[in-house]
Each structure stands twice: as structure tokens, then as C-alpha cells.
Structure 1
Amino acid sequence: MTEESAEIDIRTQGRAGRITLNRPKALNALTYDMCLRIEAALDAWRDDAAVDLLIIDAAGDKAFCAGGDIAELYRTGKAGDYAYGRRFWADEYRMNAKLFEFPKPVVSLMQGFVMGGGVGVGCHGSHRIVDTSAQIAMPECGIGLVPDVGGSLLLARAPGRVGEHLGLTAARMSAGDAIFAGFADACLPRDAWPDLIADLCATGDIDAAERPCAEAPPASDLSTQMDNITAHFGGERLDDILRSLQAQENDFTAAALKQMGRNSPLSMGCTVEMIHRLRGPSAEIRRALDLEYRFTFRSMDQGDFLEGVRAAIIDKDRNPHWKHTLHALPDVAVSQMLLPLGEDALTLEEKTT
């Protein structure tokens, strides 16, 4: 099976199903069509006895995938068409769920920027391999969204309060940080990837991908910040976290407050609430995606998404006018964004197109 397009290359090679993101000039940003093609491949290979495992990688050196291609989301949303965005997010999240729950090993090889939608493709597999160039982040609060594509579950499963810290500050994780936080499993030099891929394709034996996971991971700066993260990011609400950070002056609190000061208060408040709801043994991917969709469904007409994209990407003035200020975010605003959607709730079992 081979399905090539200018944006994505989907094929079988030996015993492996191969998915290669192929928009290097756009940092491999995910388009709607790419999401649907990935889902179709997952459906085709799930019960295909000729496919023993999946390999997901990306062309170019700068990025595995720097996020979603949101130009059309913004255009349609500004025109008052919220249905397009809601359909896109529902279809993307369905793909994320299928990838997370895929019954065969999934090996992802991630270099450079891995952000937003890239996390949803690269960080849900069984064997997540990065090289030393990797920079992984969930920066959605900066454009009026919340960490989505299943990223909220990864944040909730991170050690201690690392999830709150990463979600609210959009801090970039190095290879060592990503392994420490649970977004990756191993670090392998890029020049060793071709041999690994060839071995996996030839044998279909996942043991080849497990060997790097047994090696000691690179050092993690994030792990050295745990005392500060625990001290300041354990509050029940966004305001509790902000007050704790503002009560102590040091390099850590100054950096955190600077980054949080750029983000949507509503998005950050909802991010804290979502992580708290998902923390614990009962949380799973479908619960996370359902919560995320409650927010993204409302993000254009009730949230800060359109304003966030305008300020960061369209006008690039970096001066968003958020609906709320940092210390004046009503609890009810958070609750309203995360209310159940009733008949509009996310459905993962059948297509919404």
C-alpha cells in the first residue's frame, strides 16, 4: 500500500506501516487532510496481518511537527462559521484516540519542534524516540486554546505538578525533559535512525526500538526545578498559582510569570481545571479528549481563540485583548467552558464529516 501526497507519505515497507509528514517548509504543520489520511491508515492497518508495527517520522531537520495549520480555522471563525473548526477538532481528536489506542506498536521518531498537534501525532505511541534537537511544548494557552490532542492527559500524568507548569508556561522541553515528563521514552542520535527504521521494517520486531529505551536518558533541567514547581504550581485554581509565584522573587518565578502574562487567563484557568480532573488512575484518553473538545467547541464564540490567533499569527502585534485579566477570572467562566455539550458531545466511534 502506498499513498503519497505533497503533504504526507503513507505506505507499507516490509513489515511496517510508514507515515512520514512531508511539509518541512511549513515545519510539518498538520492540515485537516493530513489528519484524515493518518486516520485512514490506522483503520487500514489495525487488522492487517502483514503490518506488525507502525513508524511515524517527518521530513526535514527543523521540526517533526510544529502544530496544526490554523489559517482556515481562523478564516472560517472570523466569518462566523464555527462548524468548520468544531468538525476539524472532532475529526482530529478521533484520530488521536485511534493512535493512542492502536493495538500494535507505534514507533515515533521526533526531531526539532514538536508542538501542539505534533504532540498528538508523535507522543501517543508505544515507543517515542527523540534526538537531542527535540523541543517539545504545549503552547496553546498563548493563542486562546488549551493543551489538546490528548496533551491534557500527558500533562496530568507528568510527575508532581510538572503538568501545570508546562501547560501554563508553554515551556519547551529538551530531549531529557521530555523523557522525564513522560512525553518521550528514549533519545537516539539522528544518524542512528535509518538503521533502526530498516531493522524494524525488515523484521517487524519491536525489540529494536526497545533497546534505546534501556539506555540512560540525557540530563533534564526540568527535573532540577521540581522544588520550585511543587512549591508554586500546586494551587487549586489559576489565581492560587499566580499568588504563590508573585509572593516569591527569584529567576524561576520571574520567568514563569513573564510567560503566563502573555497567555489567555481563561485558557490557563481551564487548563488547571482539566489537569486536576484528569489526574489519577481513572483518567484515560477518551475522557481527556472529551474535556478538550468541550473547550475547543466553545473557543471561537465564547473563548479567546480568534483574538489569540489574530495577535500571534495574523497581525503579529503580540498584544491580545483577552476576555479576562489574570486576577479577575471568575470561576463560573471556567465552569461554563467545560460544561458537557449534550447532543454536541464528542463522538469517537463514528465520523462527524
Structure 2
Amino acid sequence: MTPDSVDATAPVLLHTRGRAGHIVLNRPRAINALNHAMVRLMDHALTDWERDDAIRTVVLTGAGERGLCAGGDIRSIHDDIRAGGGAASVAFWRDEYRLNARIARFPKPYVAVMDGIVMGGGVGVSAHGSVRIVTERSRIAMPETGIGFVPDVGGTYLLTRTPGELGTHLALTGAAVGAADALLCGLADHFVPSERLADFTQALADSDVDDVLDAYADTAPPGELTAHREWIDACYAADSVEEIVGRLYDCGDPAAKEAAETVLAKSPTSLKVTLASLRRARALATLEHVLEQEYRVSRTAITAPDMVEGIRAQVVDKDRNPHWSPAELAQVTDAQVARHFERHGDGGLGLAPATGPR
């Protein structure tokens, strides 16, 4: 497919409007969940528009009323792991993570309209953009620990660059944040009321992004995280998930206790690997280095039982009752965590020099 596609059934719609190239994720019944074909189509569009001097701005939106993108197509990942050992999923992640890096370095304004649900892979194709718009309907999350997985798509890069320990809280609980909290966490840049979005994106056809923002951006309604910063920063600074949970229970705040119970419902292995990923990501210099680490972690995660089980409970059988293995935090060994960071034999993503254990 090339830009200005007219196939309304395509999973990604591409068209130009004046000086703007528009990417519309077009699987509204699945809240525009990403699959491999969509990643390739986006990458091809960026290649064409990067070379086209007539295109000054790229705009990303999602079809339907529910959100920009609910994440990767995890049902397909579940089926691929069960049927083929996950080879197709690995190929998908390889191209997806490269796309995330490309979006972050795209030389023209990349305007991501993060309206409605934006989770997992949806964060990857939006929150690395240069102009990230949220609305009063935005709900942004990295909920991977709830499906036996670990934040990816550069999520550990973004979450380690939030103020204090906000990113650790969001990564372990999988909690969704609204507009003001997304701005606070550095996951978004500007608030535009949803009723102005159509006019906002239309104006990008003829005007520079900064001029359009001056006309349409507003102040976001108050968020929730600022009021909880004291206990979040104190509790999540601990060196282990067990200690984090203990501090949450002991601090005396009902919201902290609720966070502890939320954490304990997630995959114990995923929790420990996520915390290790976040701490390691803090020491990595670039998004590309973090994506290389996430690729190694993802490749290992599909070889463990929790990802298939988590997706089964969430979207296949929908019983919301996953049986994690190991079932308790204390049963997850340091060696089980460490193996997620070992290199595989495929050379990685080729985005950054190899780091980590050989």
C-alpha cells in the first residue's frame, strides 16, 4: 500500500491533506490493535513521506470511538506461541521495535493523537513522537505484567524517565493514566479537548504544528498522581518487588494498599523481570539500547508459561483467573530473571551496539 490509499478495509489508512500525511490505524473493532502488517504499512508510509518535501507533518490517529490503539494483537501472539513457538511474534517485535526507534528519530513533526485507549504497542507508536496530544478521554497504560509479559516498545525507556518512581508504579501495576498524569510523566506534550480534534488535525494541512497548537491546546483537567507522589516515590524506590509490596502495605495510605494488591495479582516472574528491566534501562544511554534490551527480554518471555496463560485468562477464555508459574514472588529465582537479559543468536535489532551478558 502507498500513501493516499483508498482501500477503506485496509488495517492502516494513508492519505495526505495539504502538507500533512495522515496515518489512521483502522481496526476499530479491536481498538486498532497492532499486527505485523500494520507495522510494515506504517514504516513504508514514513519512508515515502520522509522523502517527500511536500509533506511537512505526519499525523497518527485511530479509527472508531474507543481509542488510538489497545496494543499489540495479543490473541495472535498467544496462538503463534502455542502453534509455532513464537517465531512470527519475534519477527513482529523486530519490526515493531525498529518502527518505535524510527518514530523517535523521524526528522519531521510526528503528531500522535492519543485520544481514548492507548496501551502497550499503542504507546510505542505514539509516545515516541515529537508532538503527543492527549484529551480528556485519554487512558494510557503499559499493562503487560497482567498478561505475563514485560513493558516493551520502548516503554521501559519512557517509564524510567518519569519524575521520581512514577514509572515504576505504572509498570508494576499496569495502571492507566489520564491526560494530566500523562503530561506529568512525560508521556504526552499537549492537551487538546476532544471536541477540537477534527479542527486541530484539519489545520495541520496548511499550518505549522506550533501555530496550530497555539490555537487549539488548552489546560488539562487535574490528574491524580501528584497527590500520591510521596508514597509512590518512597515505596517504589526499594530494590525488590517483595520490598516494594511490603512498603506499600506498611505506609498506611489506602491507595498504597490498593496498589500492593494490584501488583500481587500480576505475574510474579513478569514483576521481577520488569523491575530489573527498569533499573537496567536507567543506565542505558539511548532508546535504541533500551529497545535492544527489550527485544532480548521479549524473546525469552515467550519461552516461559506465563505469557500464554496470561493472554488466555485475559482475552481467550476471559476468566480473569490466570494461574502463574511460579505462583509466588519468592519462588522466582535470580537466575530466572537474569536469563531474560541474555543475548540471542540473531544479532538483535541492529539499532545499537550489543550490551549485556554474552
TM-score by length of 1: 0.93
* Paired residues of 1:108 and 1:127 also in contact (CA < 8 A): yes
My pick for the range that moved more, 205-214 or 86-95, is: 205-214
Specify which of 129, 143, 167 is matched with residue 125 of structure 1.
129
Q: Give, in whole Å, the separation in 2 of the partners of 1:303 and 1:229.
A: 30
After superposition, the C-alpha distances for 1:150-183 in whole angstroms (9 at most, x for unaligned) are 1111101111000100000011101111111111
Structure with the larger RCO, 1 or 2 (CA within 8 Å, 6+ apart): 1
* Paired residues of 1:196 and 1:208 also in contact (CA < 8 A): no
Q: Give, in whole Å, the separation in 1 of the partners of 2:145 and 2:219.
A: 33
The aligned counterpart of 1:11 is 15
The aligned counterpart of 2:265 is 262
Specify which of 79, 89, 93 is matched with residue 89 of structure 1.
93
What SS is found at the alignment partner of 1:234?
Answer: coil
List gaps (5 residues or longer) in structure 1: none
Specify which of 296, 299, 303 is matched with residue 297 of structure 1.
299
- 1:271-290, aligned counterparts within 5 Å? 271-279=274-282, 283-290=285-292
Q: Does 1:111 align with 2:105?
A: no
What stretches of structure 1 move > 4 A for 4+ residues in a row? 212-215
Specify which of 207, 211, 214 is matched with residue 210 of structure 2.
207
Task: Check 1:4–1:159 CA distance in 2 against 1; reply closer, same or farther (3 A cut).
Answer: farther
User: Aligned AA for 1:235?
Assistant: A
Q: CA deviation at 1:48?
A: 1.7
The aligned counterpart of 1:77 is 81
Q: Give, in whole Å, the separation in 2 of the partners of 1:13 and 1:151.
A: 31
The aligned counterpart of 2:313 is 311
The aligned counterpart of 1:197 is 201
Q: CA deviation at 1:132?
A: 0.1
List gaps (5 residues or longer) in structure 2: 353-358
Q: Does 1:150 align with 2:154?
A: yes
Task: Check 1:58–1:343 CA distance in 2 against 1; reply closer, same or farther (3 A cut).
Answer: closer
- 1:220-231, aligned counterparts within 5 Å? 220-231=223-234
Task: Check 1:214–1:25 CA distance in 2 against 1; reply closer, same or farther (3 A cut).
Answer: closer
* Paired residues of 2:35 and 2:92 also in contact (CA < 8 A): no
User: Aligned AA for 2:171?
Assistant: G
The aligned counterpart of 2:248 is 245
Q: CA deviation at 1:283?
A: 2.8
Q: Give, in whole Å, the separation in 2 of the partners of 1:36 and 1:333.
A: 33
Q: Give, in whole Å, the separation in 2 of the partners of 1:212 and 1:30.
A: 32
Seq. identity, %? 39
After superposition, the C-alpha distances for 1:224-245 in whole angstroms (9 at most, x for unaligned) are 1100101110012222212222
The aligned counterpart of 1:328 is 331
Q: Give, in whole Å, the separation in 1 of the partners of 2:182 and 2:93.
A: 25
My pick for the range that moved more, 138-147 or 207-216, is: 207-216
My pick for the range that moved more, 246-255 or 221-230, is: 246-255
* Paired residues of 1:32 and 1:88 also in contact (CA < 8 A): yes
What SS is found at the alignment partner of 2:318?
Answer: coil
Number of residue equivalences = 347
Q: Give, in whole Å, the separation in 2 of the partners of 1:78 and 1:209.
A: 48
Task: Check 1:239–1:206 CA distance in 2 against 1; reply closer, same or farther (3 A cut).
Answer: same
Q: CA deviation at 1:263?
A: 0.9
Q: CA deviation at 1:213?
A: 9.0
Q: Does 1:57 align with 2:66?
A: no
* Paired residues of 2:200 and 2:216 also in contact (CA < 8 A): no
The aligned counterpart of 1:35 is 39
What SS is found at the alignment partner of 2:23?
Answer: strand
Q: Give, in whole Å, the separation in 2 of the partners of 1:213 and 1:228.
A: 35
Q: CA deviation at 1:29?
A: 1.2
Q: CA deviation at 1:250?
A: 3.0
User: Aligned AA for 2:95?
Assistant: D
* Paired residues of 2:192 and 2:217 also in contact (CA < 8 A): no
